[in-house]
Amino acid sequence: MHHRTARTLALTLCTVAAALTALTAASQATAEEKASAYPSRPIKIMIGFSPGGSTDAPMRVLAEKAGAILKQPIVIENKPGVGGTMPAQSLQSAAPDGYTLGIASAGVYRLPYTNDIKWDPATDLTYVIGLTGYAFGIVVPASSPIKTLQDYVAQARANPGKLTYSTPGIATTNHLTMEQLSRLYKIELNHIPYKGSAESLQAIVGGQVDSAAETSAFVPYVDSGKLRLIAVWGDKRMARYPNVPTLKESGANIVQTSPWGLVGPKGLDPAIAAKLHDAFKQAMQTKEFKEMLARYEMEPDYKSAKDYRAFAVDAMKREKEILDALGLSRK
């Protein structure tokens, strides 16, 4: 009896093991089938800023090109507000099926230190591909007496708290860099946040603010003579405006760049993430995308999924240091 029970148990265990192996193989096959069938319907990409800015315009071109490669339309959905972080926050409740994606800008890496969130940007997003980065600068109306950063600082000193500047939102790179300038020069500026670059630049052109700390969405306004660029924030001058100095050249030891790219929800199938990566990498090589970036004085800044995630982890450390130094971290 004892031997028969042992043999029955062994046979049962073998059957269970075989069933589990078959189940694993079947689930792997299903995952592979899902990835090979992807995409079978339109894909949505959320952008954290308004239409018409330096995130929206290049991304629409890229989405069209990547959609043609993937043989499904890619729809852009603008979700402005909260410093461009709405897409990353919305992805926390999105299905990880590859049909809902978002653009992550630098504000995402500040969220744990500025907002009460229950998720971690480093681990609760799938980093698909790094795409490009913003160019930044300070612009004033063409009629303004301010022609240099020194003029700007002098104006602020003479009128504490009265010199206004617009940005695409609170806790954006634009806002924090101006806070750094304020601390450096011991001046008091008046920050007026908007929901995106399009509104921020309309405010300065319309005379509602004295200046704007903006991405290169200012290019058309500077080229048309409506605005004057007084300083750029990169490590070198913009090719388009060789006479405009950097912040460093103007006396402020600050260099600011802000890479951004495509992310998905946590748990996105690696095979689907790889398919998206490859399509967008191919789309980045197109003439139309490069031309659109050039229009905004931006350059391709490709990062593989692995490098992009490593960048995010590093960026979170850097952003915490800046926010702590400025006294802007959430208590």
What is residue 83's predicted lDDT score, i.e. its pLDDT? 86
Strands 227-232 and 164-167: what pairing? unpaired
The 10s digit of each residue's pLDDT in 125-184 is 999 999 999 999 999 999 999 999 999 999 999 999 999 999 999 889 999 999 999 999
Per-residue pLDDT at 100 exceeds 90: yes
Other Cβ atoms less than 10 A from the Cβ of 20: the count is: 10
Per-residue pLDDT at 18 exceeds 70: no
Per-residue pLDDT at 27 exceeds 60: no
Which residue would you say has higher pLDDT here, 236 or 27?
236
Residue with tokens 């391709």: 300
Over residues 74-89, mean pLDDT: 94
| Contacts of 29 by beta carbon, 8 Å cutoff, 6+ apart | none
Per-residue pLDDT at 283 exceeds 70: yes
Note whether 187 and 121 are within 8 A (CB): no
- In angstroms, rounded to a whole number, what is the distance separating the alpha carbons of residues 275 and 257? 28
User: Reduced to 3 states, what is the DSSP secondary structure of residue 241?
Assistant: coil
Instruction: Grade residue 35 by pLDDT with cuts at 50, 70 and 90.
Output: confident
Tokens of residue 43, six digits: 């894909």
What is residue 257's predicted lDDT score, i.e. its pLDDT? 82
Note whether 58 and 289 are within 8 A (CB): yes
Mean residue pLDDT of the chain comes to 92
